[in-house]
């Protein structure tokens, strides 16, 4: 009797789990059908750039994996509209995977090999074997270390980092037997690099299809061209013919000076940075463009990004510390705080007499604690409308997490933010399974720091 009862409980539980996943996906499909329209380019842009007047469920613009599934199954007025939707969401997912790679790499680097800050003393690294000994005994482990060092040189650049070693010796993870810790699993950031490469190719292909079939030289055509060229410039694949268009910078200024602040404007700033980095734009031309930008926040972001990429300064004025109460939109503040924190992070490599890593950590945590009002920070059950963009949207959350790893008191809050998007909750029932390994390394990091 007891044995049969246990079997009955197990079967009932298993069926419940199956039904939960089946019906959660069916609910997602049903929700998609409720929005019974054929998407046009303007409606796609409203979803992509978080138009405040849009009445679609927030989840469509706050979880990229779910948004991708939605765009794949939605109805469109023309085939080129679907190309436009998918090209853009693949572009965002590319940046999301780059940010995931960087976060995993940074956790691994500090947890196992070479902590950048002494803030947590002897808690890290958790490996009892030093780098020199590890180099002699475990080839794969030292290659992980070298690859992570290479990745760290590209933070803030959205660049793929290839590896001849891992191309020839595929390795998703290694298990190290540590005589103090036991078996330790280290996941390879190259996994996310290759995911990003897949989305790079898919985005480029969809942009190509859109630009080939959409014949109108309007704002949609221009946005698609900019993002396609950005993907190329991120990875040193230059298409010179694009810069022969004499109106390109005039169009950029018009969009930067748009009264409606939106998520495309930071891409335009990146475009100007990469155009100058690749000598399509000289310093004098950059200065002229800078003077014509109306929005002060965009001007500050442009100057910060120039410093990140070691471009010459526009002027000799010092960039003032940014304060969240000075901003009135929900796009630029987090971009500015990330850029400022990234600059602090980079200073650590040039100036070791100060803990710039801790400074960057404090700065980005200031944004997430002082600039966003939430009711329950740890589980993020109730969140203000505006901060949904910050919590969920593409690389923003993952990049902020990377820069804010060191604040032990805030780690449970970061954990809650991550789980809200990347694990199955009432907010994110359809999640990307690729983020499970990152979830595991975050748990290990928290276990090491919060003792």
Here the contacts of 309-317 (C-beta below 8 Å, separation 24 or greater) are: 309/157, 309/273, 309/277, 311/273, 311/276, 311/277, 311/283, 311/286, 312/283, 314/286, 314/287, 314/290, 315/287
Q: Virtual CA dihedral for 144, 149, 152, 154, nearest 10 degrees?
A: -100
Q: How confident is the model at residue 417 (pLDDT cuts 50, 70, 90)?
A: confident
Give the CA angle between residues 209, 211, 217 to the nearest 5°: 160
Whether the pLDDT of residue 299 is over 50: the answer is: yes
From the centroid of its chain, how far is CA 141?
26
Supply the mean pLDDT for the chain: 82
Q: What is the pLDDT of residues 310-342, one digit of tens each?
A: 999 988 777 766 676 666 677 788 889 999 999
Query: 3-state DSSP call for residue 185?
Result: strand
Query: In DSSP terms, which residues pair with 183 in a beta bridge?
Result: 177
pLDDT, position 325: 67
- Confidence at residue 373, expressed as pLDDT on a 0 to 100 scale: 53
- Global pTM reads 0.87
Give CA–CA dist 446/451, Å, rounded: 9
pLDDT digits (tens, 9 = 90+) for 99-121: 999 999 999 999 999 999 989 98
**Do 270 and 305 touch, CB atoms closer than 8 A?**
yes
């Amino acid at each position: 009797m007891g044995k049969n009862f246990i079997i009955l409980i197990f079967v009932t539980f298993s069926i419940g789990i199956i039904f939960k996943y089946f019906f959660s996906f069916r609910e997602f499909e049903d929700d998609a059908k409720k929005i019974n329209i054929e998407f046009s380019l303007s409606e796609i842009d409203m979803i992509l750039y978080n138009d405040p007047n849009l009445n679609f469920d927030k989840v469509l613009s706050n979880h990229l994996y779910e948004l991708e599934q939605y765009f794949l199954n939605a109805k469109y007025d023309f085939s080129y509209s679907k190309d436009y939707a998918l090209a853009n969401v693949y572009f965002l997912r590319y940046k999301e995977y780059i940010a995931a790679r960087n976060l995993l790499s940074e956790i691994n680097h500090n947890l196992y090999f070479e902590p950048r800050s002494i803030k947590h003393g002897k808690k890290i690294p958790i490996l009892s074997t030093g780098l020199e000994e590890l180099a002699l005994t475990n080839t794969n482990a030292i290659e992980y270390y070298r690859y992570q060092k290479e990745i760290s040189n590209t933070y803030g650049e959205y660049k793929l980092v290839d590896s001849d070693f891992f191309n020839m010796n595929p390795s998703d993870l290694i298990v190290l037997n540590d005589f103090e810790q036991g078996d330790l699993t280290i996941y390879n950031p190259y996994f996310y690099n290759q995911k990003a490469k897949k989305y790079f190719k898919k985005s480029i292909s969809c942009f190509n299809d859109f630009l080939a079939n959409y014949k109108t030289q309007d704002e949609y055509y221009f946005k698609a061209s900019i993002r396609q060229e950005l993907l190329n410039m991120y990875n040193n694949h230059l298409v010179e013919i694009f810069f022969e268009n004499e109106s390109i910078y005039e169009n950029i200024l018009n969009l930067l000076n748009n009264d409606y602040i939106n998520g495309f404007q930071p891409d335009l700033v990146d475009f100007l940075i990469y155009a100058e980095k690749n000598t399509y734009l000289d310093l004098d031309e950059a200065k002229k463009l800078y003077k014509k930008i109306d929005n002060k926040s965009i001007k500050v972001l442009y100057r910060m990004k120039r410093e990140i990429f070691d471009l010459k300064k526009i002027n000799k004025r010092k960039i003032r510390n940014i304060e969240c109460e000075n901003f009135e939109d929900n796009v630029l503040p987090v971009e500015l705080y990330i850029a400022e924190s990234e600059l602090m992070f980079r200073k650590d490599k040039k100036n070791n007499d100060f803990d710039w890593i801790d400074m960057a950590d404090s700065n980005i945590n200031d944004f997430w604690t002082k600039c966003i009002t939430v009711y329950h920070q740890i589980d993020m059950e109730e969140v203000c409308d505006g901060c949904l963009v910050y919590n969920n949207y593409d690389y923003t959350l993952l990049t902020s997490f990377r820069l804010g790893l060191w604040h032990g008191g805030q780690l449970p809050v970061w954990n809650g933010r991550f789980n809200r998007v990347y694990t199955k909750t009432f907010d994110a029932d359809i999640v990307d399974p690729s983020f499970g390994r990152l979830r595991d390394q975050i748990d290990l990091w928290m276990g090491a720091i919060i003792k």
